[in-house]
């Protein structure tokens, strides 16, 4: 299952990508599709799957729990007051 590592200080993010090829999904990208699957987790919790269509035709699918996604969103909202 996908886990989140929230980085709440922008200057600390992703310096390891400076020497890597990066695929950036900008305004021209397909919308990210999010599917909620009730009881999709082994313990019966709701799972969230996200689909990202890459420009070269490949597709990335990531899955996490609704609880995990909600927790990271809450941390971001608390930090930035939104």
Say if 54 falls within a structural domain. yes
Q: What integer best gives the mean pLDDT of the chain?
A: 89
Q: Is residue 60 part of a domain?
A: yes
* pLDDT > 80? residue 14: yes
82: pLDDT strictly greater than 80:
no
How crowded is residue 47: how many other Cβ atoms within 10 Å of its Cβ?
Answer: 21
User: Residue 57: which domain range?
Assistant: 24-80
For every residue of the chain, which 3-state class applies, written as one string? CCCCCCCCCHHHCCHHHHHCCCCCCCCCCCCCEEEEECCCCCCCCCEEEEEEECCCCCEEEEEEEHHHHHHHHHHHHHHHCC
On whether residue 42 sits in a domain, the answer given is: yes
- Band (49; pLDDT cuts 50, 70, 90): very high
Is the model's pLDDT at 12 over the cut of 90? no
Q: Has residue 68 been placed in a domain?
A: yes
CB 41 within 8 A of CB 47: yes
> Total structural domains in the chain?
1
Q: What is the pLDDT of residues 50-70, one digit of tens each?
A: 999 999 999 999 999 999 999
Residue 56 within a domain: yes
Indicate whether 3 belongs to any domain: no
pTM above 0.85, yes or no: no
User: Which pLDDT band holds residue 1 (cuts at 50, 70, 90)?
Assistant: confident
């Amino acid at each position: 299952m996908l886990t989140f590592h929230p980085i709440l200080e922008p200057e600390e993010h992703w310096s390891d990508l400076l020497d890597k090829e990066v695929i950036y999904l900008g305004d021209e990208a397909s919308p990210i599709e999010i599917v909620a699957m009730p009881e999709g987790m082994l313990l019966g919790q709701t799972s969230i799957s996200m689909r990202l269509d890459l420009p070269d035709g490949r597709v990335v699918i990531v899955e996490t729990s609704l609880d995990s996604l909600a927790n990271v969103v809450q941390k971001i909202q608390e930090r930035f007051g939104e």
